[in-house]
Structure 1
Amino acid sequence: MTFDYDLFVIGGGSGGVRAARIAAGEHGAKVGLAEESRMGGTCVIRGCVPKKLMIFASQAGLMSDEMRGYGWCDAQAGSFDWPIFREKLHAELSRLEVIYRAGLTRAGVEIHDQRAVLDGHHQVRLADGTTRTARHILIATGGRPAPIGIPGEELAMISDDLFLMDRLPGRILLVGGGFIACEFATILAGLGVDTVQAYRGDAVLRGFDREARDLATLQLSAVGVDLRLGVTPAALERDGDGIRVRFEDGTDERFDAVLMATGRDPYTRGLGLETTEVRTGRNGAIEVDEWSQTCVPSIFAVGDVTDRVNLTPVAIREGHAFADTVFGARPRTVDHTLVASAVYLRPHELATIGLTEEEAKARGPVDVFATTFRPMRSMFAGSDAKVMMKLLVDPADDRVLGCHIFGPEAGEMIQMAAVAITMGATKAQFDATVAVHPTAAEELVTMRAPTRRHEGVEG
């Protein structure tokens, strides 16, 4: 059978773009790609990139406080002009979108600026009604914010909407305790918005190391977020030009805006999966094997739509591995067991790789090397903010099982630690590394004795 393409990619985010560019540009495949929104996907257009720029913008108040502690008596953040920032932000996103498009075009990928859905095992149907056939189809549609199922939730914003606001709200409620909710609570409070965050749990960032979670929870309150734990909204209704929120405890409050940040689901609804034999999980995630292949040999999926490890660098790695395997005769898979990540709070970030202390303890005996201290820079300025460094070590072979950092630029630090841990570094090798002084990071190589040992589930 003759096909229009060797590969058709549905989705122009990080994973889909990487797969298409490598398949076409490096391996000579004939590739088509369809994207229903802006090229670059969630990370570039409405996620990682604009969020990080907003985090930079939100630091001015903390920086001016610190500078006054260093003797700059007149240091003031001044007023923040959202329209000026937003204009520069969207100019930068447009620049990045052009770069993504240019990369695909140079590689020879044919771009379709419209929605595409599956129409069988070797065919896709475009929004304009035309169809294209392909020997292989790659689904890379990412995820979308998940509804929580309460009356009036359509009145709330999702994270995508924050970058499009005409003006900052005076008072906002953020619902959730994960990456998105905590980062945007930090951002909005830093930009001067009266920020309330409601989370049903007893500490934010479920799934991270508990000690780090506790520090992150305390920090949110310290930077001005009105963090309310054990609180869940029950309904939203319009109240003039604002929103009135009724909570499960029977109380209600009025806010200028509400942001729902309660997780994301794989974006598979209406994708035409019913025309195939592709299997999905409970939340709509496409089921794939270690090669990112579905139960249909011609259909693959990468990135958040598979709900494996939902991080941009993972989607990129999966897309590249797929292209090398299928079109480059260089078969390889992606190891999802050791993936570093960071939560960009302020002033201190939370970054991690490997097992949490709770996971390590459940696995078996583990030595915990941990320290908490006030870092030089902020302590001199009068801050009580604390840094945490933690290494989890297997006493049987001395291998480092996990690393957790809560501190300034923790994301930058964990990247370097991740290289060593991915290589299987031992605690003795960390100890043999000469410290860089004076830095906060030197604590990672100067913790000589364990602070505690867990004997495991049977201990």
Structure 2
Amino acid sequence: MPDFDVFVIGAGSGGVRFARIAAQNGAKVAIAESRHWGGTCVNLGCVPKKLMVYASEGAEAAEDARAYGWDIRTGAHDWQKLIAAKDKEIERLDGIYKSMLGKAGVELFIGRAKLIDANTIEIGPGPLDEQAEPRRVTAKRIVIATGGRPTRPPIEGAEHAIISDQAFHLKARPERICIIGGGYIGVEFAGIFAGLGSQVDLVFRQDLPLRGFDRELREKLHEALPHHGITVHAGQSPERIEKLGESSYRVTFGNGKSIETGLVFFATGRKPNIDGLGLEAVGVTLKNGAVAVDERSATNIANIFAIGDVTDRINLTPVAIAEGHILAETLYAGQTRSWSFETTPKAVFFSETLASVGLTEEEAVEKADIEVFTAAFRPLRQTLIGRDRKAFMKLIVERESQKVVGAHMMGDAAAEMMQGIAIAVTAGLKKIDFDRTIGIHPTTAEEFVTMRTPTRQRERTPRS
């Protein structure tokens, strides 16, 4: 008789949701975590990053306030105070996660778990308890939810750079920083450090940042980066990092050019966190370094499942939560909840937030004839400030059906707006539904329901 009905390896967002729902539906559940309760998002990702974004907005908010008549002056930013406040909040959230699991009846194990066979798990020492004695338990089913981890490119001197996990615990804010990578993490931290007063160099291999987003949105961001004090090095790949002295480094690119900086930060992506799990001993199939699963989150081993970033499908926290919820209800409640993964919205919390849902223009035109509606304008808030900053908004409409198949925005509160727009896109609403909706005036959001004339029309162009 197994010790548990199901054992979850990894207490991140997906693992915690699965464990709670499974336990609430009568399963005897255990979960192991070696490092952080709540996983990357709570401890080294979404939550602390957003708190740091808020901090980075302070100087500009004071500048804006002066334009509206307030006699406000800013002093130096206190980095250590920010980190201490952030750490206190994260500690509180860690406690909440453990409490939620305990109240749901889930048994908690602290340590690094690995598979011994398809039904046996060994929990050994980990960062949270380095002296723990190894313990073995058995389970009828196993769920792998170990998420992802930051990567370092294999270049000379890579050991001199930090990764995103370390950025949250720096002892001091660097006066100059070189961030390598033009994805979510690179762009967001470029905005954070620039907003706090650092001199920022942002380096990425492609011609534009944010690969995978709508190209026009990427172009708008590329134009905006220098206006936030960020020096952009597009189309560049670092080949070597040299330590010149204390807090002094030289980064040399493939074209022979180089820059000097006080800190080098790799934001070059993440990969599934599978090392040491014992997957090879059990025979779990991998695909491109990720745990291979089917549409039910099942692996090739009948009783082993995987959810979240370790499967490298849609690597976003809400998606991991949805996958965990669906799997728990499928296995223990006899039902399957429905989520629309095809219309998963996403946001990049730069100084000017970017947000998207549905198809990019490039994706949409491969599938059908389309109409593209765009608007770029200076929001009312900016008029007294005098800052030349425009909001950009975009709707993509399938011409024949008139369904809105994509929406994209860069500007203040873009993520908050896009959550509502995502409901409309998920529901398959048509452009006329947007047109007949009364706007809230004066807001930026009303532009989504007042764009009447297509900026351009494009004929279907399948990818060759």
Task: Report what 2:244 is aligned to.
Answer: 239
Give the Cα–Cα distance (whole angstroms) in 1 for the partners of residues 452 and 222 of structure 2.
28
Task: Give 1:59 shift.
Answer: 0.5
Secondary structure in structure 2 of the residue aligned to 1:380 = coil
Q: Give the structure 1 partner of residue 130 of structure 2.
A: none
Q: Is the 8 Å Cα contact of residues 307 and 324 (structure 2) preserved in structure 1?
A: yes
Residue number among 341, 361, 366 corresponding to 2:370 in the alignment: 366
Give the CA deviation at 1:448. 1.2
Q: Tell me: CA distance 1:148–1:207, structure 2 relative to 1, closer, same or farther (3 Å).
A: same
Q: Alpha-carbon deviations, 1:52-82, whole Å to 9, x = none?
A: 000000001211222232233x432321001
| Alignment-derived partner of residue 129 in structure 2 | none
Number of matched pairs: 454
Establish whether residue 125 from structure 1 lines up as the match of residue 129 from structure 2.
no
Kindly indicate whether the alpha-carbon contact (under 8 Å) linking 2:150 and 2:165 is maintained by their aligned counterparts in 1: no
Q: Which of 336, 340, 344 does residue 345 from structure 2 map onto?
A: 340
Which residue does the alignment assign to 1:205?
210
| Rounded Cα–Cα distance in structure 2 between residues aligned with 1:335 and 1:116 | 32
Question: What SS does the corresponding residue of 2:286 show, helix, strand or coil?
Answer: coil
Partner of 1:13: 12
Q: Which consecutive unaligned segments of at least 5 residues does structure 1 have? A: none
Asked if 2 retains the 8 angstrom alpha-carbon contact of 1:379 and 1:385, the reply is no
**Shift of residue 252, structure 1, vs aligned partner:** 2.9
User: Could you say which residue in structure 2 is the equivalent of 1:435?
Assistant: 439
Q: Is the 8 A contact 2:365 2:461 kept in 1?
A: yes
> Which of 176, 181, 189 does residue 186 from structure 2 map onto?
181
Show the 5 A alignment for 1:26-425.
26-72=24-70, 74-127=71-124, 128-241=133-246, 242-282=248-288, 284-332=289-337, 334-346=339-351, 348-425=352-429
**CA–CA separation in structure 2 for the residues paired with 1:80 and 1:112:** 40
In the aligned structure 1, how far is the partner of 2:258 from the partner of 2:202? 14
Q: C-alpha deviations, 1:346-388, integer Å up to 9, x for none? A: 1x21000000011111112011111111111113310111111
Using the size of structure 1 for normalisation, the TM-score is 0.97
Q: How much has 1:332 moved relative to structure 2?
A: 4.0
Check whether the contact 2:368–2:460 (CA below 8 A) recurs between aligned residues.
yes
Structure 1 residue 458: deviation in Å?
A: 6.4
1:458–1:53: structure 2 CA closer, same or farther, 3 Å change rule?
Answer: closer
Partner of 2:341, secondary structure, is coil
**Aligned residue identity for 2:170:** M
User: Aligned residue for 1:447?
Assistant: 451
Question: How far apart, in 2, do the equivalents of 1:54 and 1:9 lie?
Answer: 31
The answer (yes or no) to whether the contact 1:201–1:229 under 8 Å persists in 2 is yes
Q: Secondary structure at the match of 2:389?
A: coil
What amino acid maps onto 1:231 in structure 2?
Answer: Q
**CA displacement at 1:391 relative to structure 2:** 0.8
Letter in structure 2 aligned against 1:66: D
3-state SS in 2 of match to 1:203: coil
Q: Which residue identity lines up with residue 81 of structure 1 in the other structure?
A: D
What is the TM-score normalised by the length of structure 2? 0.96
TM-fit CA distance, 1:435: 0.7
Bigger mean CA offset, 327-336 vs 435-444:
327-336
Structure 1 counterpart of 2:179, one-letter code:
L
Deviant stretches of 4+, over 6 Å: none
One-letter amino acid of the structure 2 residue matched with residue 268 of structure 1 = I
Which residues of structure 2 form unaligned runs of 5+? 125-132
